[in-house]
Structure 1
Amino acid sequence: MLAAAASSLGATIHSLLIRPQVFSLQPVGTAPNDVAIRMAEHRRELRRQARELAKRDPGLACELRIGRPDLARQYDDGGLVDMNHAPAQVIATVPGMRPELVERILQVREAVGVSSSPAELSVTANLSVDLNDELAEYTVYLP
């Protein structure tokens, strides 16, 4: 009788120890992909809010250093890049941006001055239409 009880207790303890390896104990909605999606959506919302702030109050956006991850700052803009002021290495972080495009943008910026929108930059720098979505999502154009 004692042997049966000890065997049952041992099996129960063993089952509890291996349970995490057999069954996921993650709460619903915390799987790694779910967390990654929520973080990406959060950063997208931060970019939207920062672009809205820049449109409403460009001076404040400059003071907060929106789009300037190369400078010390406290405001989280979700990863925006100020195409009118950021250095080449920051512009190069925009998805789809190749070194020759960064150089073209810098040349246009020096010759023409600031751009007011992704569309204006795209036309002025003769960028591919394939970049339009990335420019609209990840850039800001401060005066």
Structure 2
Amino acid sequence: MNGYGGPGGYPPAPQGPPNPYYGGYPPPPPQPPSGTASVFWALVPLFTCGAGTPFSMLYAAIRGRSVALGLSAAGYAVLTTGWLWNSVVYKGVPTPLPATIAIIFGALGPSLGGTLHSFLIRKRVFGLASQPATLNEHALAVAQHRRMLRQQARELAERDPAMARELRIGRPDLPRQYDDGGLVDLNRAPAPLIASLPGMTLALADQVVRVREQVGSFVSAEDVSAAAALPPHLTTELSEYGVFLP
């Protein structure tokens, strides 16, 4: 007796949501954030004739934690201040050439230049550029993330098998909350779960379980393949999706 009341000798686990992707498909790509707010933000320099450009750029700098955008906000503030100051000082009197240049750049830079600048960085500031462009890109991102989860779970299982058993790594058929990326514990999983692995069939899974009952446990994908006389091409799949908890 191991003292545990959970299935298969596992400790009871808190009930959580259904295990990710077991018996199903990855979720659809998340809806990208609306770009409406970003367009309004990018038009602030044009709508305010450049007066609001320093503030919109400061918002972008804070949102993106960007020093470069902070310096841009300061630069637009200098241009806007120069435009306003020279316009007031030389109102009704002849304007010298340097002041005229300052007024022109101070008016056009924050308004037209600020608008162009805002549209160039709009997607990056509002996180629109990071969204998958296609369903295929999303599927690839999900697969890469699942592989990373499997690697992390496998390393945890090697480092702390007791913790791995408590988290029920490799047992998506049992209630659990830990996402191991789709690993299957070939030393404990039932035949139907083993049969869900790529390339496996229920007949082959039954064969693995019968051999497991005879030898006790496996230590690697190569061990399973040799002991259960599995087709050689399955070794790679078992290495990718299998875990072997003692």
Match of 2:225 among 112, 122, 130: 122
2:135 is aligned to 32
CA RMSD in angstroms comes to: 1.3
Structure 2 residues not aligned, in runs of 5+: 1-127
Verify: 1:66 aligned to 2:169, yes or no. Answer: yes
Identity %: 54
In structure 2, how many angstroms separate the alpha carbons of the residues matched to 1:88 and 1:121? 14
Deviations along 1:82-111, whole A, 9 cap, x unmatched? 000011111111100012211110110111
In the superposition, the TM-score normalised over structure 2's length comes to 0.47
Poorly superposed stretches of 4+, deviation over 3 Å: 26-29
**Match of residue 5 from structure 1:** none
Aligned-partner Cα distance in 2 for 1:29–1:84: 38
Counterpart amino acid of residue 124 in structure 1: A
Contact 2:186 2:244 survives alignment (8 Å): yes
- What is the CA distance between 1:29 and its match in structure 2? 3.6
Whole-angstrom CA distance in 2 between matches of 1:100 and 1:34 = 35
Cα distance in 2 for residues equivalent to 1:140 and 1:32: 30
**Count of matched residue pairs:** 118
Report which of the two structures shows the higher radius of gyration computed on alpha carbons: 2
With normalisation by structure 1, the TM-score equals 0.79
Does structure 1 retain, via aligned residues, the 8 Å contact 2:192–2:202?
no
